[in-house]
Amino acid sequence: MMLIRDVFLSIAVLLSLSVFAQEQMTFSSELNKTRYQSLVEELRCPKCQNQNLADSGSGIAVDLRELVHQMIEQGKTDQEIVDYMVARYGSFVLYRPQHSTATFLLWYGPFILLGIGLLAFVVVVMANRKRRGRDL
């Protein structure tokens, strides 16, 4: 019983901390606030396995949220901010990796494997039909 209460209490504290951290940031315009929210949801925390900057409570995520805020307020474009993050932390920080030769298999590998599987299925079915035709 105490364990469940402690878990719920911990979750409540973490949620309130993340809300508190975002409430402290002031933006010069509503557009900047929207851009900030979009960017921190699209960029992955370098420390966490699969959390974006908005959801992560790690120290580096807090620092990166602050950095994104500063860069937006300095007038940097979204692409400049993303390019900075990729240059610093690699393409891992992108939830949607860019199309390039390095990510070709990531984007198109499943379709290639599906095509090979369908081709193999057709070849096996055709071979079985030929064999049945000879056996009769």
Residue 89 pLDDT > 80: yes
More confident call, 112 vs 25: 112
**Rounded to an integer, what distance in angstroms lies between the CA atom of residue 69 and that of residue 39?**
10
**Rounded to an integer, what distance in angstroms lies between the CA atom of residue 36 and that of residue 42?**
10
Q: Determine what percent of the chain is predicted with pLDDT higher than 70.
A: 82
Q: Are residues 121 and 90 in the same domain?
A: no
Query: 14, 11, 37, 15: which is closest to 25 by C-alpha?
Result: 37
Domain region containing 104: 99-136
Q: What is the mean pLDDT of the chain?
A: 83
Residue 128 pLDDT > 60: yes
| Predicted local confidence at residue 72, as pLDDT | 94
Write the pLDDT tens digit of every residue in 60-70.
999 999 999 99
Q: Are residues 6 and 50 in the same domain?
A: yes
Q: Are residues 12 and 79 in the same domain?
A: yes
Write the pLDDT tens digit of every residue in 92-108.
888 777 777 777 887 78
More confident call, 9 vs 86: 86
> 């602050």: which residue's tokens?
66
Q: Are residues 76 and 20 in the same domain?
A: yes
Q: Determine what percent of the chain is predicted with pLDDT higher than 90.
A: 43
Q: Are residues 72 and 110 in the same domain?
A: no
